[in-house]
Amino acid sequence: MFRIKELESAVALIAFTACVSLAMLSSAAGAQTSGTVTVTGRVTNSTGKPVPDARVYVPGSNEATQTDARGNYTLTGVPGGPQVVVVRQTGYVPVRTEARFSTKPGDRARNHVNVKLLTPAEVATVEAQWARDSAGLAKVGFFRRESTVRGAYFIAPDQIARLKPARVSDIFRGVPIVTEGVGRTGPVLRGVNGCLLSYVDGLPWRSMFPGDLDTYVSTRDVVAAEAYAPGQTAPAPFLRAGLRPNCTTIAIWTRSGIG
């Protein structure tokens, strides 16, 4: 009798374990399904026109698609997290775009990736321009200061390209020693202590009205920028900052100024 009860207990335990295992497998399958996202975007050329029939895919996933007549694409079942979107089309240089896809419902904007394709000739032109920009920045000492000055903030050309700023003020949005207020014409940059000294191409910028940097300096012309905290002795050519130690100092370098 004892052995019969013992056997019944063992059978019940096995059944319970099987149920738990099935539940765990089901949960894991659900987690795998919920860990994928839908990626959308648009592929255009250098003039903003759509590129149809371009191949869009994410290496490591089984998903690939083509853009429609408007250059739009949709990829489903793409794993969340860090991924690379690769776009190819005949006549253009392939583009690899790094992304971090989110499975959060309220964070779907991160799953939208627009891509611009350039022809080989256009890429050669861009590379030549980058070489000229680098030579100009080296001439004004930007790279030397970037490698030797500690505690300052440097926004290099590749960072500005990724930011795609609409205004000059957008370039400093991630710099904690620069704040942003609202003026009559739009955003107004300020230092953390309220005082801001600005330089454009190594020369002091005297504002005619708050926010006129955004009005008179085009982001398409900006190559790099740097910022120095209050109390920090700014190097040449920003020596004026030493006379007002409570001020934040920002400097903008333009292509027309260093070229």
| Same domain membership, residue 201 and residue 106 | no
Per the structure, the complete domain to which residue 173 belongs is given by 122-258
What's the average model confidence in pLDDT over 48-63? 92
Q: Are 110 and 142 in a shared domain?
A: no
* pLDDT single digits (tens) 139-180: 999 999 999 999 999 999 999 988 889 999 999 989 999 998
Please state the pTM of the whole predicted model: 0.66
Rounded to whole angstroms, the Cα distance separating 13 from 87 reads 54
Co-location of 187 and 131 in the same domain: yes
Q: Which is more confident, 72 or 25? A: 72
- Give the domain CATH number at 113: 2.60.40.1120
The domain tally of the chain equals 2
What confidence score (pLDDT) does residue 239 get?
72
What average pLDDT does the segment 225-244 reach? 81
| Domain boundary residue, one of 90, 118, 146 | 118
User: Does residue 170 sit within a domain?
Assistant: yes
Residues 148 and 236 in one domain: yes
Query: Does residue 4 fall inside a structural domain?
Result: no
| Residue 88 CB coordination number (10 Å) | 13
The CATH number of residue 240's host domain is 2.170.130.10
**Both 68 and 156 in a single domain?**
no
Q: CA-CA distance, 113 to 248, in Å (whole number)?
A: 35
